Structure 1
């Protein structure tokens, strides 16, 4: 009989300690463990059952009092709980997700129950949840890409198109910084045509030759680039720069019939669920899809611009005419009001041109106008818009330029005109105006530049003047 009882107890102990469920018995009054299985002790982070039994399970292992309160309310109301999921803490303070089932034995002042470790299950659920959110986001991105195709192809103004591509790229790819660089055919440099999130000095000063910088290398190689972490990237490894919030970025080349026309740079992906994330292969495919659409739209815009140039250019100087000047100035002032960037206007007048024309004839006068037009195009940037205003007057719209910088440009142009071969001494007067302060309309800006030009004439010609505020 004793042997049978011993065997029974031994079998019970083996079952108790070797089951894959953590078993316990605790007092109702204070939650002190009276008995626990070996698995529960291990689960809670103890080296032995003896060490674990010293504990007060309700006080030591709950992360918050609200959960403990809910648990006890259910226990008291129903006499037990089934499949109660909660997060508790191990002995070392690390979190542990468990599924708890327990019963109250009031006559013995006991709570008996079983605990299953569901931490891995919870982690899998979180991963699945994050993946589902990510998939929904990617689906939304793709739908947006498809929806912008028709709109993009209908934009025929290159500046409008650049703004649209940048805006949609940042929206769809959920990024904080984006720039579109176009190739300057004359200098063979990449210049920033438009951007979001970049410093003004960076916009004005960045000019990359083929192979220079990462964007320049992408331009040479002609393939899109995804970098998840710049600091450990095999090809481009370097210290992350302070102006960027993340170490991940993408660059895609813009090609028209196989010829490079520019690149799009996307950086600083916005956080998801308060956590910074990297760009991934899906993001790169989406960027490439946007860029493919953009390349077709850029080709259309360039073709339209060529046709428009034929109808908006001056036949003598090959500069834009007065009609185009008015249209572009309105556009640039709209951009100024939207993005709060500087904008200046230069107004030029060839000194004593009427006398020169009368002395040497209209053919020589036209040749001189053409020579001045060539100087303007050579000395101004590709983003500047220079036009023949009327007679011997010219104007230049200078985006991203304040009046001080515009004055320097004017002085540089005056210096360049001194090397022109003319039949008699000729000079240039320049008026400068910046769209700021009380200047709120196109008319105000033109009038301000004209007044500054008049001042230059009055003070002796052959100089640059701007009005004081």
Structure 2
């Protein structure tokens, strides 16, 4: 008896597992209704010892049961009909089960069984199984197992029908959830903006999209990126920037409207153009502009709802990445000068060495030192010394990019320590780097520093090393630039020395 109890327990566990697998299949909506039933009926065949199993669902227009899926063991006999008319004849056992007059019926000398499929909304169909191949009778246990499956199928079919009725909305919500996850994992602003624009076109289905962000410091609405259905790439639109004043254009006017959250379809365009503000926690931070100028497909209320959902997620992600970048910027900037700190500059230099080594490129490293800086501290105090450091850092920030680097964002300036500054000029060979250094010296010489109502001046010495000629790695390049600086300071100060000139100056 104990053995029977153990066997029954194991059988129950196995049955429960098959039921669970069947229900998991029903929730994989994306594989399709027919495929879902096919996989689920396979679980029925493996769990219940029957030869074939069929699912019939009610088709209201024809008032009949239509066979939507069947599974049969290999080389078995398929005895199902494609369509069974519903009748109220007492002899029609399948109709009686479907209509709820019976929960199940076993017939055909005990080789066939029919179980009702019902939901809260009413009758769905029937589940039919048979053992016509093996010619053994359906047992009560097998009938109970099939009834369990029928209950699970009732729920699963109901969920699938709900899913199919709301497929577009559910797919959109799933897509928006994935977009939100992608934005949440991106920690830099540009990738977040690219994710937003790509998905507005590719997932939400608009023809074109543009994203603008507010520059509060300069009171401008700046264009950042655009995307459209003609290309997978996003394009910068930095040339589009507008004063935050009413009457400038429709984009700015829509942004400045009193309603902080409302999207607005442009009137007179058959809803082909839509403005959606990006609203942060306290204020608006930008604007999404979308249109369907190519397809001429009117923008629907559902489109507006979906875009508003995405816009809300986008605003949160943009604020988060901006905060992250602000914190990161504080950690890599010198508090006095605003230039890169020593450690971060070395990281940038190492990256440039790797890039230039791979691309066979060249760049210059400059070390700038204030001549006689200690005397300014001793004579005028450390506040004056800090003032001179700040003045020099401002000169570097204002002039480096205009002197030969053409505004390249890959150039870098750092405070190396004390009164020493370092400059990396990417793609700038030796001679142009020397021109940059001379111009910097000229600006510094003409700079007046007011101390106690009196004017004073200061000068700088500069050492220059070129990659890869003077050093093929970060350490050797720094060492050579430092040697050039030392030579310049030892030979008159207010000098420029390149590595190749060490030893030539008298």
TM-score (norm 2): 0.42
TM-score (norm 1): 0.44
